[in-house]
Amino acid sequence: MVRKTKEEAAATRDQLLDSAESVFFDKGFANTTLMDVANHAGLTRGAIYWHFKNKHDLFEAMIERVHLPIEALAEACADENETDPLGKFKEFSVQLIRLIATDKRQQRVFSIMLHKFEFNGDVTQIEDRQKVSFVECHDRIKRTLKNAIKRGQLPKDLDLDQAAQVKHGYFTGIVNNWLFYPQSFDLNAMAETIVENYFFLLTNSPHMRLSQQQAVA
Amino acid sequence: MVRKTKEEAAATRDQLLDSAESVFFDKGFANTTLMDVANHAGLTRGAIYWHFKNKHDLFEAMIERVHLPIEALAEACADENETDPLGKFKEFSVQLIRLIATDKRQQRVFSIMLHKFEFNGDVTQIEDRQKVSFVECHDRIKRTLKNAIKRGQLPKDLDLDQAAQVKHGYFTGIVNNWLFYPQSFDLNAMAETIVENYFFLLTNSPHMRLSQQQAVA
DNA sequence: AGAATAAAACATTCATGCATGTATGTAAAA
DNA sequence: TTTTACATACATGCATGAATGTTTTATTCT
């Protein structure tokens, strides 16, 4: 039983990615063998080396599979022509938290990224990719907030950079903690409150505004 | 040149811990060899196996060295007899961020914990230790806030659990992001603003309060 | 249309290197 | 003389990557 058709081959590839998610989540990235992944899929290492260049290539493919659709959603919030950027942003933020809180696949992949994978000196490709996402995310938030200011939804002297930094840190921090210790609180139930608190800061906190000197400069 | 005196042996142990910090930070935990650590210290693996049980034991010792003093400071904030718990808490929070922002050793160790080490199924000891710290930290924050409420520094209907969760997530999230990408913003400069924003939420955000039903129950 | 050929989609086998743990050696301190 | 504080040497296992094998599908030639 070799040489499947194109669709069967694609299914095999997905199987391998599913296995990678499962095994990386259970054993951690560095600690899992490609044989582990292959066995879990009922295949051999030969299949992995056919579909992917190596272990890191497999990892990147696994990340991309869940990362791309989320990025598309986030990008929609940052659209200049969006007439309710703040509302859209708020809605997206709650949805994303809820998604992570309920979808097993998202939980596994995010958990792997945050707690079951380590950055080491020689594999800069993955770290670089993460940094690009990091910067893009920060930029997207800033564009969204800028549009919200333009449309009078947020104060004009809002410190955009800080607001973006706080949003990114605050949200990922809470998700990070929950993924590390899911029993510690109910993420799904807290989703709205978490988001509301951030937007409360945006509109009300004097510490989120540009200082006089910064505003002048 | 063997058989040093007690003090020299202790110095060797510290050297090994220093090397571990440096090499783990550069190459990641899983990717570094005990020979790497030994070589960096100008010693051999024999020295490591004398002072530590194995690689994980070395790791835990490295963590404890920076963890213990910080925990002691945090515990002081949670003291019931503290007359200004909120002020102490705020001061400590700023100091901790500043410490991480300026002290190279703290940066390395925290960075290793957050980005250069992964949890794998078989080594539950380290993960369990982290979870204990996690719960202790959460409990400490709650005790501190409770004392602050008792002394009229915070509203009585503050949602303690949520406030603790937000604090932990928000702070570690921002530090996490900065350690991952230090060039992205100036953590030291932002320290006070970060903290002020959290305390603004504590005293002003309606979403940080217990809902009527929760308050009754 | 049927045969021949190529190429896809894996499985199997092989060679290599390297990290770990342990066992043993050794010199100085107690 | 024993024990400490390491260094050196050894045995083991295992994961990787590449090489080769195998079968079926797709393509081309006649």
Quote the mean pLDDT of chain A.
Answer: 94
State the pLDDT confidence band at B123, using cuts at 50, 70 and 90. confident
Pair of tokens at residue B125: 């000891």
Reported as a pLDDT band with limits 50, 70 and 90, residue A216 is: very low
Each residue's pLDDT tens digit, A97-135: 999 999 999 999 999 999 999 998 877 889 999 999 999
Distance, in Å, from the CA atom of B100 to the CA atom of B29, rounded to the nearest integer, reads: 20
Q: What is the mean pLDDT of residues B176-183?
A: 97
% of residues, chain A, pLDDT over 70: 95
CA distance A82 to chain B (A): 27
Asked if B116 reaches chain A (Cβ–Cβ under 8 Å), the answer is yes
Contacts of A33 in chain B (CB under 8 A): none
Answer yes or no: is pLDDT of B152 > 60.
yes
Residues of A in contact with B194 (CB under 8 A): 166
- Judge whether B166 and A166 are in contact, CB under 8 Å: no
> Phi and psi at residue A10, in whole multiples of 5°?
-65, -40
Max CA distance (Å), chain B = 72
A203 with A195: CB under 8 angstroms? no
**What per-residue confidence (pLDDT) applies to A212?**
53
Q: What is the pLDDT of residue B213?
A: 53
Cα separation, A1 vs B178, in Å, equals 51
ipTM, 2 decimals? 0.92
Residue B212 reports pLDDT greater than 60: no
Q: Do A176 and B174 touch (CB under 8 A)?
A: no
Rounded CA separation A73/A61 (Å): 19
Q: Which residue is nearest to nucleotide D16 (CA to C1')?
A: A34
> How many angstroms separate the CA of B61 from the C1' of D3?
25
Q: Inform me whether the pLDDT recorded for A5 exceeds 60.
A: yes
Of the two residues A104 and B1, the one the predictor is more confident about is A104
Cross-chain CB nearest to A205 (options B176, B177, B200): B200
- Contact between residue B167 and residue B141 where contact means Cβ atoms under 8 Å apart: yes
Nearest to B28 among A26, A31, A118 (CB): A118
Q: What is the DSSP letter of B211?
A: P
Q: Which of B44, B45, B37, B32 is closest to B19 using CA atoms?
A: B37
Nearest Cα residue in chain A from B193:
A207
Smallest CA–CA distance from B196 into chain A, residue: A207
The amino acid sitting at B217 is A
Reported as a pLDDT band with limits 50, 70 and 90, residue B214 is: low
Backbone angles phi, psi at A155, to 5 degrees: -60, 145
* B142 Cβ under 8 Å from any chain A Cβ: no
Q: Which two tokens stand for residue A11?
A: 């299914």
A 38-57: CB under 8 A from B: none
A174:B181 CB<8 A: no
CA atoms A65, A137, A140, A178: torsion sign:
positive
Range A148-152 contact pairs with CB under 8 angstroms and sequence separation of 24 or more: A148/A85, A148/A86, A148/A89, A151/A83, A151/A84, A151/A85
Q: Is the CB of A47 under 7 A from strand C?
A: yes
d(CA A173, CA B171): 7
Distance separating alpha carbons of residues A206 and B87, to the nearest angstrom? 19
Confidence label for A215 from pLDDT (cuts 50, 70 and 90)? very low
- Identify the residue whose tokens are 């060899």: B33
pLDDT band at residue B216 under the 50/70/90 scheme = very low
Question: Chain A residue closest to B165 (CA)?
Answer: A174
Measured between CB atoms, does A128 come within 8 Å of chain B? no
Give per-residue pLDDT as tens, A19-58.
999 999 999 999 999 999 999 999 999 999 999 999 999 9
B176 contact A CB<8A: yes
The fraction of chain B above a pLDDT of 90, given in percent, is: 89
Task: Give the integer Cα–Cα distance in Å for B8 and B42.
Answer: 14
Residue B136 forms contact with A (CB below 8 Å): no
> Which residue in chain A is spatially nearest to B133 when comparing CA positions?
A181
More confident residue, B142 or B211: B142
Q: What is the pLDDT of residues A70-100, one digit of tens each?
A: 999 999 899 999 999 999 999 999 999 999 9
Q: Over chain B, what is the mean pLDDT? A: 94
Residues B60-94 pLDDT 10s: 999 999 999 999 999 988 999 999 999 999 999 99
Q: What is the 3-state secondary structure (H, E, C) of B38-95?
A: HHHCCCCHHHHHHHCCCHHHHHHHHHHHHHHHHHHHHHHHCCCCCCCHHHHHHHHHHH
% pLDDT > 70, chain B: 95
A140 touches chain B (CB under 8 A): no
Pair B27, A121: CB distance under 8 Å: yes
Judge: B170–A170 Cβ closer than 8 Å, yes or no. yes
Q: Quick check: A185 and B196 CB within 8 A?
A: no
Smallest Cβ–Cβ distance between B174 and the set A135, A165, A204 belongs to A165
With CA of B34 and C1' of each nucleotide, the nearest comes out as C19
Listed ranges A110-124, B119-133, B189-203; the one with the highest mean pLDDT: B189-203
> Does residue B49 surpass a pLDDT of 80?
yes
Residue B178 has pLDDT above 80, yes or no: yes
Asked if B157 contacts B209 with a C-beta cutoff of 8 angstroms, the reply is yes
| Contact B166/A at CB under 8 A | yes
Nearest by Cα to A52 from A70, A65, A71, A67: A65
CA distance A146 to A156: 9
C-alpha pair distances (Å), A213 with each of A180, A209, A210, B193: 41, 11, 8, 15
- Band (B8; pLDDT cuts 50, 70, 90): confident
Closest alpha carbon to C1' of C23, residue: B46
Residue B99 CA neighbour count, 13 Å, CB half: 15
